């Protein structure tokens, strides 16, 4: 493998592999470095919003996701802590180009990485990046070490160094390519995410469901593999009270919502819990000089709207154009970085606004008790909110 590339991408989630594929297709030499080995579980609600269809189709991966059995998600249901609920039918929302999809991250991320390789990107798995620095004019140096078996039993593998004209930070919420990591840590909220797959969940009628309960909210959606993803946000005291027993958190905290309790009455967990947190919501992150950020590294919004993956995929598409210009210019200039930020802001402005609005409903049961019956009485309001998450 060469040690110098036009672009090194740190992180092989949807944002990183999509950016790698868009750039490799244009003829740039691209290396994607991913800490884990595919397929690997990832904490996520695994609901791909209808908005993700466009970038997936333009990448050439949508047909594979459909062929792999990702069930269509035709609408959404939102319930308040008392179990009153409102629904939205995606087909009735102006501008929506098809149903959403339920797809396990094990599958989606593996398909995206395979696609990036097919179009010419190098994807190196089990390699953890430790630092990104500028050495000389417009020459970025990425240092890291192999992990897993290749890292040696004691993790004593030698450091490896890669050089690039541009580095794309696609390494998620704790991105080491972000210059404001301390601020992100300070702004963390006390919410933790937990996720598992379940069999025997009551019929969801093709919808993604969000149920609000005291201390958080949780989502259910049928995903590829014939199971249901259950992904729940809970606060630290609830975890502590249950002594970290996540099945107890599910039955005592999450199932305090009567609709969730009914859905989960006959459910069986079919894999291990995955957890993460505390979460920090920062819409616009500052990149290190010479880097551009995509996906959660560029900004993490409340997961309520299920827009994270769609934004990572679309953001990668937008970023690829700016990265291409930066490579041709010999590196990321402040003007290029500014132009990219401006386009991101205008692309995602409305989605970020709706995410903030919905966070108030999802994390404040009292607000949910007012908002949900209102949405049930005035269905056009729900359609308006879903419509506002479409690209502006």
Ligand X SMILES: Cc1cc2nc3c(=O)[nH]c(=O)nc-3n(C[C@H](O)[C@H](O)[C@H](O)COP(=O)(O)OP(=O)(O)OC[C@H]3O[C@@H](n4cnc5c(N)ncnc54)[C@H](O)[C@@H]3O)c2cc1C
Contact pattern from residue 172 through residue 201 relative to ligand X, giving x for each residue in contact according to CB under 6 A and a dash for the rest? x---x----------------x--------
- Asked if 94 and 202 touch (Cβ cutoff 8 Å), the reply is no
- Asked if 316 and 230 touch (Cβ cutoff 8 Å), the reply is no
Outline where DSSP puts E strands in 156-283.
Answer: 160-169, 191-199, 207-213, 216-223, 227-235, 268-269, 274-276
Q: Is 128 in the site for ligand X (CB under 6 A)?
A: yes
Select from 305, 225, 232 the least CA-distant residue to 264: 232
Q: Is 322 in the site for ligand X (CB under 6 A)?
A: no
Which residue has the CB atom at the shortest distance from ligand X? 295
Q: How far apart are CA 360 and CA 362, in angstroms?
A: 6
If the CB atoms of residues 180 and 333 are measured against ligand X, the closer one turns out to be 180
Which one of 64-72, 86-94, 165-173, 255-263 is the stretch in contact with ligand X (CB under 6 A)?
165-173
Q: How many CA atoms, within 13 angstroms, populate the side-chain half-sphere of residue 382?
A: 22
Query: For ligand X, how many residues bind (rule: CB under 6 A)?
Result: 38
Q: How far apart are CA 152 and CA 149, in angstroms?
A: 6
Select from 215, 208, 218, 220 the least CA-distant residue to 267: 220
If the CB atoms of residues 19 and 326 are measured against ligand X, the closer one turns out to be 19
With CB under 6 A as the contact rule, the residue among 306, 365, 382, 387 that binds ligand X is 306
If the CB atoms of residues 279 and 327 are measured against ligand X, the closer one turns out to be 279
With CB under 6 A as the contact rule, the residue among 7, 8, 9, 10 that binds ligand X is 10
CB of 328 to ligand X, least distance (A): 25
CB of 36 to ligand X, least distance (A): 5
Q: Are strands 122-124 and 72-73 parallel, antiparallel or unpaired?
A: unpaired
If the CB atoms of residues 353 and 373 are measured against ligand X, the closer one turns out to be 353
CB of 24 to ligand X, least distance (A): 16
Q: Is 231 in the site for ligand X (CB under 6 A)?
A: yes
Quick one: DSSP state of residue 295?
Answer: G
**R_g of the chain computed on alpha carbons:** 21
Q: Is 15 in the site for ligand X (CB under 6 A)?
A: yes
Q: Of residues 29-88, which lie at the interface with ligand X (CB under 6 A)?
A: 33-36, 42-47
Q: How far apart are CA 95 and CA 51, in angstroms?
A: 10
Q: Is 129 in the site for ligand X (CB under 6 A)?
A: yes
Q: What is the four-CA torsion angle of 95, 383, 226, 81, rounded to 10 degrees? A: 160
Q: Is 308 in the site for ligand X (CB under 6 A)?
A: yes
| Contacts to ligand X by CB under 6 A | 10-16, 33-36, 42-47, 128-129, 170-172, 176, 193, 231, 233, 276, 279, 295-297, 303, 306-310, 312
């Amino acid at each position: 493998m060469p040690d110098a590339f036009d672009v090194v991408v740190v992180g092989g989630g949807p944002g990183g592999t999509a950016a790698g594929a868009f750039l490799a297709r244009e003829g740039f030499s691209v290396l994607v470095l991913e800490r884990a080995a595919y397929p690997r579980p990832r904490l996520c609600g695994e609901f791909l919003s209808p908005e993700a269809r466009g970038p997936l189709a333009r990448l050439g991966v949508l047909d594979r996701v459909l062929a792999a059995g990702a069930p269509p998600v035709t609408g959404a249901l939102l319930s308040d802590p008392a179990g009153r609920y409102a629904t939205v039918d995606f087909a009735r929302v102006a501008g929506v180009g098809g149903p959403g999809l339920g797809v396990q991250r094990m599958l989606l991320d593996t398909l995206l990485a395979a696609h990036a390789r097919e179009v010419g990107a190098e994807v190196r798995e089990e390699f953890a990046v430790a630092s990104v620095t500028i050495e000389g004019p417009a020459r970025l140096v990425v240092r890291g070490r192999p992990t897993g078996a290749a890292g040696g039993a004691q993790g004593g593998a030698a450091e490896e160094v890669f050089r690039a004209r541009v580095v794309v930070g696609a390494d998620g919420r704790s991105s080491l390519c972000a210059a404001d990591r301390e601020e992100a840590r300070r702004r963390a909220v006390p919410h933790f995410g937990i996720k598992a797959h379940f069999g025997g969940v009551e019929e969801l009628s093709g919808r993604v469901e969000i149920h609000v309960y005291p201390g958080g909210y949780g989502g259910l959606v049928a995903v590829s593999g014939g199971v249901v993803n259950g992904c729940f946000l809970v606060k630290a005291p609830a975890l502590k009270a249950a002594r970290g027993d996540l099945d107890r958190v599910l039955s005592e905290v999450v199932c305090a919502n009567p609709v969730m309790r009914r859905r989960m009455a006959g459910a069986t967990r079919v894999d291990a819990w995955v957890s993460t947190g505390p979460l920090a919501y920062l819409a616009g992150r500052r990149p290190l000089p010479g880097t551009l950020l995509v996906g959660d590294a560029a900004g993490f919004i409340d997961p309520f709207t299920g827009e994270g993956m769609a934004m990572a995929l679309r953001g990668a598409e937008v970023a690829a154009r700016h990265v291409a210009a930066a490579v041709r210019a010999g590196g990321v200039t402040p003007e290029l970085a500014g132009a990219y930020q401006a386009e991101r802001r205008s692309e995602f402005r409305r989605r970020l606004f709706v995410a903030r609005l919905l966070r108030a409903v999802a994390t404040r049961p009292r607000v949910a008790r007012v908002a949900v019956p209102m949405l049930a009485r005035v269905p056009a309001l729900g359609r308006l909110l879903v419509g506002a998450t479409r690209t502006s």
